[in-house]
Structure 1
Amino acid sequence: MRLTAFFATIAAIVSVNAIAVPRDVWVPRIISPDSTTVWTMGQTVNVTWDNSNPPAVITKGSAVALNKADIPIPKYNQPGGFLAEDFDLLTGFVEVTVPTDLESADDYSITLFGDSGNRSPMFTITN
């Protein structure tokens, strides 16, 4: 009998948590970098996005990750390694320092994480 009560309690908790509060998905358009952008290693640059029409509640933390050839660079796609993290998405920009351990190439992109991850167009990073 106690086991049945235990499972009934667990089922009630799970069902209450399953009634999710509707979440808005906000995918702000990345303004910079764009396909004409050239970043220089070691330089401090702004990542900017359109911060109009945000949802009432932003449900996830924020981060800017770096990708090469549309593949996440592991070192720059994890907590503590992001180009930036835990900033206010409502500001519409965040300053980042371009890593110095990259190869010069024209197939980099960033991913802006918040309510939804969205990727910039490919751009150039040079030494």
Structure 2
Amino acid sequence: MFPTSTFTLFFIALFAVFSLVASAPAPLLQRDVYSPPVLYPRNGTVWRVGEHHNVTWDISNAPEHITNNIGMVILCRDHELLDLDRPLAKNFNILIARHEIVVPDVEPGNNYRILVFGDSGNTGEMFTITK
């Protein structure tokens, strides 16, 4: 009976060691919030409804580990989001630095901005949309 008891204790101890190793938390990577500056459209830009344009942003200072690299482009007017449920673009890699959009049918005005949103948003300069 003694050998069985030692044998059992050995496997219990071995199981306990493996359990501790398996339950140890994996090291976390530090992730950075990234707000790329919008380059285009910029102040003085005029877009017409229905045109295709490339919204561009600067990725030259992108951190190595971004919290969320899936982007969305939203049109803003007077610092308000126009339609968060229907963004101009979504589900693209924010590190590509540009995405083509179609100018939506909105009221003409010179108080529009583009918001490039990943894990944090960054709005560009005011620009104009005409019919």
TM-score (norm 1): 0.75
**Structure 2: segments with no counterpart, 5+ residues:** 1-24
Indicate the residue corresponding to 1:83 in structure 2.
88
The Cα RMSD (Å) is 1.7
Q: CA deviation at 1:21?
A: 5.0
Aligned-partner Cα distance in 2 for 1:94–1:124:
19
Task: Determine the structure 2 residue equivalent to 1:71.
Answer: 80
Normalised TM-score (structure 2) = 0.73
Distance 2:37 2:99 in 1: 14
Q: In the alignment, what sits opposite 2:104? A: 99
% identity of equivalent residues: 40
Following TM superposition, the consecutive aligned residue runs of length 4 or more in structure 1 with deviations greater than 6 angstroms are: none
Picking from 111, 116, 130, the partner of 1:112 is 116
Structure 1 segment 3-82 matched on structure 2, within 5 A: 22-60=30-68, 61-73=70-82, 76-78=83-85, 81-82=86-87
Q: Secondary structure at the match of 1:66?
A: strand
Larger Rg: 2
Name the SS for the 1:86 alignment partner.
strand
The count of aligned residue pairs is 105
Task: Give the distance between the partners of 1:48 and 1:31, measured in 2 at CA.
Answer: 5
